[in-house]
Amino acid sequence: MRLSRVAGAATALVLNTVVPAIGSAAENPPRTLITENSWTLTAPTAGAPSARVELNPSSGTLTLSAFRGVQTVLAPAALGLRTTQADLTRGLSPLGRSDRTVLEWYTMTTGKRRVRSAVMTETRLAFANASGARLDLLVRISADGVAYRYEVPDPTGVTVTSEASAFSVPANSTAWLLPYNAQYEQARIETTAGAAPPRDYGYPSLFKVGDNFVLLTESDVDGRYAGSRLVHEGSGSYQVVLADAQVHSSGALRTPWRTAIIGDLATVTESTLVDDLASPARFTDTSWIRPGKSAWSWLSENSSPGDFERQKAYVDFAARNGWSYVLVDEGWSSTWVPELTRYARAKGVDILLWFHWTRLDTPQERDSWLPLVQSWGVKGVKVDFMESDSQSRYQWYDAVLERTAQLRLMINFHGSTIPHGLARTWPHVMTMEAVRGAENWPSPNTNPVQVFTRNVVGSMDYTPVTFEATHRETSIAHEVALSVAYESGWQHLADKPEVYERHPQALRFLNQVPTAWDETRFVAGNPSNEAVIARRKGERWFVGAIAAGEPRTVSAPLRFLGAGLWLVEVVRDDAGEQRTDVLRDRRIMSPFNTLSVNVRRHGGFAAIICRYIPGRQTCDEPIRQIPPSELTVTPTGPVEVESGSFVEVSGTFTAPASTWIRDVKFGVRPPVGWSSQGEELTRSFMAPGESLQGRWTVRLDPGSGNSGLGDIDLPIAAEFRLPGDATGTPRVHVEQAVRTFVLPPAPTGSPYVSDLPFLSETNGYGPVERDRSNGEAASGDGNPLTMGGVTYARGLGTHAPSEVSIYLGRNCQSFTADIGLDDETTQTGSVTFKVLGDGGVLYDSGVIRSKGPARSISVGVSGVRMLSLQVTDGGDGKNFDHADWANARLSCDES
């Protein structure tokens, strides 16, 4: 796919107010000479905030303040930045001013509103210091806020050392602040702007100033700059501090937007200003991007992502309930994920895979892993543990986003920074974490505030709706309501299938909830203890109401509905004390009514609302079910293949017995490095039970560098649509594979195992390391292999449970190694080493429970085709199980 800088679906119209010009950068609109020292900037929208920029004539320093009506919401606070070449915070003189109106229309794939429009006035104020160093200040004003950024038009490059940027909030303003860490997972605190402890705080930060609210954050941050945070310096002053000591731009500098969303609580909650300020979409075709609900097992049963059969159970559950995805988290294996993907796609479910970011931190790793999982049919990835706002980490974000977009893989950033408009620029970003979500067992008291802070700025991967997986302080109805109150393009629902099925009315509601919205409305609530949000998809409205604290009545005025009568189906807790399934009530109401529900302690309610038609009993829509079809392929057993050789494959596809199907495509899908002969078969319609047969010749292309070694699947697939499928509904994909074995060269002489290709590899944490200890999660981060104080230059560093397979081709006689627990861990693990030949155990060390001198082993491998080196935990879990195969070596024939 070709990536472009501007999306065809987005339109930006810029109206320039032209004034007499002085000398300026060619790309900037003409500007007029400045003679004043204060500039009041406004927006054309009634009720919009305004800003004032002031230049102190004696010190040459700049400040910015913001107002809503007659109230000052941000007092004058410093502007400017410092570079290695110049101090652009003082001694400034005005050069010129230009103004324009920016009108933008664009569409989103996720978020609180699909179709967006923005009207912003933009003023550029140019300044220079006594040495002639130039600083341009750009200020934008919209109906929902004020934002500014700096530009330094130096084509030779700029290195920023700090910003003077700050925000000054009245000290008595109520504040909801996030103590900063790089993954944004602390619990928010409620205090005042002045009384907040002096420390670092993360975005977004919310303040109540009189009758107004101010949400401070940043927008349009990428690898051109670093992220920042707020440092409370006393009183109501909050200084912007960069994540890096220096930020470098190779050409002219443009900083992110320092952003203040300003207005009443509805304005702040519904704001799209962060996206409005972001860079336009980098590509135009978003037809492959699909928000949806995902079944996710890691939180409720931590080891299950490593269990193929258990993941199939999650697929079956998702298929029964019309959920789009199953997310397979840490622990999945490449030995079975392709088969799981085939199993899921035949049922209308797609697979998402978890990655530690360090598995994708180099171009080589991205070019290895991402095309591979895409070839399996995986539709997206969850990437975790970035935990940095540095410029280098943002450059990594840029690189992985570009590569996943090229491969049409959607993405979720977990352990990440907050959204900065990223989902506008890269529409395949489905969600980001940056919240103290369900996996951290947050207090129910912190749930409402997320609606008014973190979730304002973009999709939030909270992993909600846990009935039994985590603490049980919130009510069942509160948890159900989170699926609406919290917006996320991928909503990873975090409990077990069996738990949801024990709550059939709750599950019925979850099956109906969309994850992408046409409209979002603030209904009622406050950041401290209550939030009621309404979201619309098509003709249906969904309401999510969550409360923290003691039992009460929560009310939702229905003014957001259109005229007429509406069917309102309310999902609520029963009146008892037990955590039982929710109840469902039907009411006929109008926009003049208020929906009031008595809620439990830490309770809530949810609702589905649709137009009332006489006789209509429910707002539920049918759940798409995929009828079973059949696909058989030949040959059925593994076929050995060498470079340049051909394989004859065939398949028979039989349509579902229960229905006609349409738009059928049937053919072989050769992987990268392979080519095929024979046409794809197509049919406009197939009758129930009708069969289609095809035959193809597949070739492993000589010299292909991407063909891989060992077990390679040659997929044969049928795709079709069901009779009632709407336009844009993905085809059903039914696939089976002919298994081949691409022969690597058999080892000769006395090679070290670390020099040989691994035909398969699994590891308990991070990758298996060659000639280093396991270390941490990143490739190459281990230490020298060390056991009992002795260092070994060669070998494998692993972490139980692990297994490495090496092809011997029956050409070797013995395997030798020095085995044991590596010295690098702070505590001692326990492991068992096993050597397997063609599946049979050739050596078993028994449980090794202490670090110390290595144990030398010699194992006969005569006649062995495939050697596997396996480490299992000692029965007490995998913590500290760093196991070394030092000096791992083979003795083989010379030819």
Strands (E), 769-876: 769-770, 785-787, 790-792, 795-799, 802-807, 812-821, 831-837, 840-848, 855-860, 866-873
Q: Looking at 439, 719, 803, 822, which residue is catalytic?
A: 439
DSSP H or E run through 380:
strand 380-384
Distance CA 192, CA 207 (A): 8
Prior bond of 767 cis (ω within 30°): no
Tell me which residue of 19, 98, 840, 111 sits closest to 430, measured CA to CA.
111
Tell me the one-letter amino acid at 188.
R
Verify whether residue 244 is a known catalytic residue.
Answer: no
Distance CA 826, CA 612 (A): 65
Q: Looking at 99, 276, 384, 803, which residue is catalytic?
A: 384
DSSP H or E run through 504:
helix 504-512
Tell me the one-letter amino acid at 469.
A
Could you tell me the two tokens for 477? Answer: 């109805």
Could you tell me the two tokens for 365? Answer: 């790793």
- For 578, residues 6+ apart whose C-beta sits below 8 A from its C-beta are none
Are 274 and 219 in contact by the 8 Å Cβ rule? The answer is yes
Tell me which residue of 58, 60, 97, 96 sits closest to 78, measured CA to CA.
60
Tell me which residue of 488, 458, 423 sits closest to 106, measured CA to CA.
423
For residue 873, list its beta bridge partners.
Answer: 831
User: What is the full DSSP assignment across 299-327?
Assistant: TTSTTGGG-HHHHHHHHHHHHHHT--EEE
Verify whether residue 439 is a known catalytic residue.
Answer: yes
Prior bond of 801 cis (ω within 30°): yes
Q: How far is CA 270 from the centre of its chain?
A: 22
Distance CA 694, CA 680 (A): 8
Distance CA 758, CA 395 (A): 31
Strands (E), 527-574: 530-537, 540-547, 552-557, 566-572
Q: What positions carry a catalytic annotation?
A: 384, 439
